[in-house]
Amino acid sequence: MNLVRIAAALAVLLAVTATPAFAAPDAPAGTAAAATATAGNGGIGIGAGVGAGLTIIGAGIGIGLIGWGAMGGIARQPEATGKIQVNMIVMAALVEGAAIISLLVICFALVGRIPG
């Protein structure tokens, strides 16, 4: 239950940090509004950094829990080692794939929003 509360708190922190970063208005280049919008984009990097960090931490925790459960299962039933290992590798690959997709979404969201 404590882990659920921590995850919920981190999700709220991410939402509060990332939402203002991506809410900058679009304005034509060379106008005063564009200069203001560019100057106000300082939170984009922070939001992307927090999002990427939470993605990596979540994937690491998920893969660690998968390995922990698999090792416990192998310790209880050594004759099922092959089946457990295959399932562990498939689940770890799915978690890693979700983490990579999350990082790609963060990167694509930043395209054109960070001033050069």
Distance CA 74, CA 68 (A): 10
pLDDT digits (tens, 9 = 90+) for 27-57: 555 555 555 555 556 677 788 888 889 999 9
pLDDT of residue 31: 58
pLDDT digits (tens, 9 = 90+) for 64-105: 999 999 999 999 999 999 999 999 999 999 999 999 999 998
| DSSP-derived 3-state class of residue 109 | helix
On whether the pTM is more than 0.85, the answer is no
- Is the per-residue pLDDT at 112 higher than 60? yes
Architecture in CATH for domain 43-116:
Up-down Bundle (1.20)
